[in-house]
Structure 1
Amino acid sequence: MTMPVSEPIPVSNPAPLPRQCVILVGGLGTRLGERTRLTPKPLLDVAGKPFLDHLIGNLARFGFDRVLLLGGYRGEVLRDYCAEAATADGRSSRFGVALSCLIEDTPAGTGGALVQGADALDERFLLLNGDSFFDINLLDLTAPLDPGALARVALRRVTDAARYGSVRLEGERIRAFAERPEQAGAGLINGGIYWMDRRILGHIPAGPCSLERDVLPALAKRGELAGRCYGGAFIDIGIPEDLAHANELLGAWQRRPAAFLDRDGVVNLDHGYVHRQDHFDWVDGAVDAIKLLNDRGYYVFLITNQAGVAHGYYEEEAIHLLHGWMREELRRNGAHLDDIRYCPYHLDGTVERYRRISDWRKPEAGMLRDLMAHWPVDLAASFVIGDRETDMAAARAIGIPGHLFTGGNLLEHVRRILDEEPSANSVSRPAE
């Protein structure tokens, strides 16, 4: 069979993709008392597993494949944590990321810890506080920095900024960090997530120092610090009350609605058995539609029949290569797919091992059910977008709405769906 060929899609943004995340895990956790006498605060049990598990698992969703822990207090416990998470080959971990740690010899503060880890840092890296959880689209924060900015901070508007101290933002430039006000009141706070240029190390004073007190305010004063506001779920576990609150809520926050997207005819133009990059054209608005769903806190899953494998037109490896390329292109534009399922089987196939009936092939719902078995999906607020009746039938089989896409702009189509399907779990919508 001869395949029509289109021109390759140009890379929309040549900036390096964000790959590395650094997590600060060196604090003493003194406000938690006896709880942290033997256990570093980020390893305390929250919702049935170490708090760090929640942070690293979330990073893996967004395609961060290397995580570096910068620790100090109870460093041997952190080393054990990394060792226990390692896979047999030592190159990955149970999270699917390469996990490592650097333990300081003497307390250096959050700024000093970064300097000590300088040789292990990428040109640009994501930085997290290991004692807070902020549910945002991390790839939106890691968009290329404007000229003159050395970092971008994720900000959160709260009803009471007295505990944290407030941030003054003008456009996307942070101008000042205020001390904690004496009286309670609403304001913007530092959400503890940063997209950093490695050049920031040249602005960290020698000796022990605090990133929050000694570095960021000076950058803000010089106009070298950007900020973006997000409305996602936020909590830190620094005091007993919030630790208890996180234990109650964190698991629930990870249960979220899903958008199940068909591929050919929805995400890309259906040229017939698409399986190569040079045969692939994005549907208008598809990348922005996926990013919108990411921003709104939906899981985004791709579900696609791939009978071309059964018919002998291409191997499964071609599917993996194309989907890998799609994921890279999405990440360049601040978007991501949480997971993918495909069905290579067809009853009329010419390749023996793929010639059979499968409950994964739409109109059956096997792919959707498998995703639901692996992800905490809020089914009541989920939906399918497809271009054929078989997609609608798969949606009906699990009791969720199916939305038929017949062409045009996918972003506009998704916006209409979201207006019709308000979700109580739209956790990551950017603040207005």
Structure 2
Amino acid sequence: MRWDDFVGGITVRQCVIVLEDGVSASLPAESARSKALAPCGDRPFLAWLMREMQRFGVEEFVVLVSSCSAQLEDVIEQIRSFLPKQPEIILSTCPFSSGTGGALLNSEPLLQERFFFCHGEALFSGNLSRFLQQAREGNSVLVRSADCLSRYGNVRLQPDGEYVEDLYFEPARSSAVGFASSGIYIFDHSVFDHLIENCSLEKDVLPALVRNRNLRAVPLSGTFWDIGKMADDEIQALDVSGTLLRPAVFLDRDGVINRDHGWVGTRKRFEWESNVRETIARIADCGYHIFIVTNQSGIARGFYSERDLEHLMDWVIDSIREYGGNIDDWRYCPMHPEAIIEKYRGASMDRKPGPGMLLDLMKRWELCPSSCLMFGDQPSDMAAARAAGMEGVTVGPALLAELIASREGF
């Protein structure tokens, strides 16, 4: 079942990334390689960008390029090896010098109804669920406060503070404080009304959206990197890992996020704990990865299927993002020694108190155990935390909201 089947969901599952300033460069030549593919620390810069987008539900990347080569495909495969989730990555080639707008038009058959759009040479790190909260329809740009517009372009807002009045992509002449683009947009298919085969997103399309009052501005705080004018050695030395390799909070589900009514596998039986979504938003705003790790023996007992659970969890995670929170990733274990369904019968290190689910997430997301916290309501949760080398915090009688409010760092 595709995400499009969920009516009213705010999660955006697709991200379009343009390399260079459209698709005008010839990528096979080393001298013309997009800076987005340059090493940054131990991986290409583009891998860091994709990793951040995966945190907020992106499952598919459409990369706009002027031509495809074995070299480019090799770099893309290298990038895959650094990503915590295995996405679909589609290279969309445009056979003419078309600018960013023309390249986007060329990729229209590949695109979902709503999609992120960003440039591969800029990376913004912040709680994008706040962006999703406000960019529910139409076209939106994520803007950030800039203390010196002489270094960046200027985004001027209309008096209502909601829509863009003017965009200037050249650096301002003054050192005034204001808003600058983060380089991240959410578009729907109304943007294609303004695209032709040869056009610039910055010079043609975005101004047309502004004139039609169809470009909402969403301010968000975060960290911004732009490597467009950096030399390769500067990109290599850029330290983004200190920000992007984050501390993490692990959450059991039943008894922590929702009331434990026993084997909850449907929305009908799912009841939120008090203030839990607001609390998860607070954790996300503080810059933490947030993961759910849950035993699901209800599958082994035949009460519901894995597909039922996945359907439910899509709704749970989307509901959390509705409140500005996020779940970066999640794991479940359907195994039980006394399962009714044979294929789920047996022991598993993934089933808490085993640490398997926690260890897998820690490996994939490159987590340090000393920077992780596990919140759970059962002794098995605490045992799994200890086995994974992280601190465990018992939920109950105090709720997650009360425990987070009382802890330093949140």
TM-score for the superposition, normalised by structure 1: 0.77
Percent of matched pairs sharing the same residue:
32
Corresponding position: 1:199 with 2:190: yes
Q: Per the alignment, do residues 80 and 195 of structure 1 end up closer, same or farther by CA in structure 2, a change over 3 Å counting? A: same
Aligned residue type for 1:69: V
Q: Per the alignment, do residues 289 and 263 of structure 1 end up closer, same or farther by CA in structure 2, a change over 3 Å counting? A: same
| Partner residue, 1:56 | 50
| Partner residue, 1:416 | 405
| Partner residue, 2:31 | 37
Corresponding position: 1:271 with 2:265: no
Aligned residue type for 1:59: M
Corresponding position: 1:164 with 2:152: yes
Corresponding position: 1:102 with 2:92: yes
Q: Per the alignment, do residues 36 and 285 of structure 1 end up closer, same or farther by CA in structure 2, a change over 3 Å counting? A: farther
Q: CA deviation at 1:227?
A: 1.3
Distance of 2:227 and 2:276 partners within structure 1: 37
Q: CA deviation at 1:134?
A: 1.0
Q: Per the alignment, do residues 20 and 357 of structure 1 end up closer, same or farther by CA in structure 2, a change over 3 Å counting? A: closer
| Partner residue, 1:188 | 179
Aligned residue type for 2:130: D
Q: Per the alignment, do residues 200 and 265 of structure 1 end up closer, same or farther by CA in structure 2, a change over 3 Å counting? A: same
Distance of 2:112 and 2:344 partners within structure 1: 43
Distance of 2:22 and 2:186 partners within structure 1: 25
Aligned residue type for 2:402: H
Distance of 2:385 and 2:396 partners within structure 1: 17
Aligned length: 395
Q: What secondary structure is seen at the aligned counterpart in 2 of 1:177? A: strand
| Partner residue, 1:314 | 302
Q: Per the alignment, do residues 228 and 414 of structure 1 end up closer, same or farther by CA in structure 2, a change over 3 Å counting? A: farther
- With 55-64 and 151-160 compared, the bigger mean Cα shift is at 55-64
| Partner residue, 1:115 | 105
Deviation readout 1:37-90 (Å, 9 max, x if unpaired): 142222222222222222333333332222211222x54367635885799xxx
Distance of 1:372 and 1:366 partners within structure 2: 10
Q: What secondary structure is seen at the aligned counterpart in 1 of 2:180? A: strand
| Partner residue, 1:236 | 226
Aligned counterpart in structure 2 of residue 298 of structure 1, from 281, 288, 297: 288
Q: What secondary structure is seen at the aligned counterpart in 1 of 2:150? A: coil
Corresponding position: 1:76 with 2:64: no
Distance of 1:193 and 1:208 partners within structure 2: 22
Q: What secondary structure is seen at the aligned counterpart in 2 of 1:142? A: helix
| Partner residue, 2:167 | 177
TM-score for the superposition, normalised by structure 2: 0.80
Distance of 2:336 and 2:111 partners within structure 1: 48
Deviation readout 1:295-348 (Å, 9 max, x if unpaired): 433211112234556xx5238x82453144212442255254333334455667
Q: What secondary structure is seen at the aligned counterpart in 2 of 1:240? A: coil
Q: Per the alignment, do residues 12 and 113 of structure 1 end up closer, same or farther by CA in structure 2, a change over 3 Å counting? A: closer
Q: Per the alignment, do residues 414 and 298 of structure 1 end up closer, same or farther by CA in structure 2, a change over 3 Å counting? A: farther
Aligned counterpart in structure 2 of residue 129 of structure 1, from 119, 122, 135: 119
Aligned residue type for 1:130: G
Q: Per the alignment, do residues 58 and 354 of structure 1 end up closer, same or farther by CA in structure 2, a change over 3 Å counting? A: same
| Partner residue, 2:314 | 327
Q: Per the alignment, do residues 330 and 209 of structure 1 end up closer, same or farther by CA in structure 2, a change over 3 Å counting? A: same
Aligned residue type for 2:21: G
Q: CA RMSD in A?
A: 3.8
Q: What secondary structure is seen at the aligned counterpart in 2 of 1:37? A: helix
Aligned residue type for 1:58: E
| Partner residue, 1:67 | 61
The gaps in structure 2 that reach 5 residues or longer are none
Q: What secondary structure is seen at the aligned counterpart in 2 of 1:57? A: helix
Q: What secondary structure is seen at the aligned counterpart in 2 of 1:249? A: coil
Q: Per the alignment, do residues 341 and 51 of structure 1 end up closer, same or farther by CA in structure 2, a change over 3 Å counting? A: same
Distance of 2:330 and 2:339 partners within structure 1: 22
